Amino acid sequence: MPIQDEWQTRLIGAHEAASRLGLSIWTVYAWARTGRIPSVRLGTRRLFHVRDLEQLVANGRALRDPDSPPRVFHAGG
């Protein structure tokens, strides 16, 4: 099996994941517990694959709360 590039296997902590996603640390933990954000448990730590976070951002899945109403933007002032 070939060795993967670092960016494919890099794991980051919840604080960095929250910063990258623009979410609070508590939201990241809650979403990880429910499976909304893929994560890996290592002892008491919860770690996140960088590629998984990038996919969430690209798909817009992590950035919108499904329980909130859709945002409506109006042109003009």
Delineate the domains of the chain, giving CATH numbers in brackets.
Answer: 6-59 (1.10.1660.10)
Task: Identify the pLDDT of residue 67.
Answer: 53
Task: Identify the pLDDT of residue 10.
Answer: 87
Q: How many CB atoms lie within 10 A of CB 38?
A: 14
Q: How does pLDDT run along the chain (77 residues), one tens digit per residue?
A: 455 555 456 899 999 999 999 899 999 999 999 998 999 998 999 999 999 998 888 887 656 555 554 545 555 55
Q: How many CB atoms lie within 10 A of CB 12?
A: 15
| Category of 42 on φ-ψ map: left (φ > 0), alpha (ψ -120 to 50) or beta | beta
Model confidence, pTM: 0.67
Task: Identify the pLDDT of residue 48.
Answer: 95
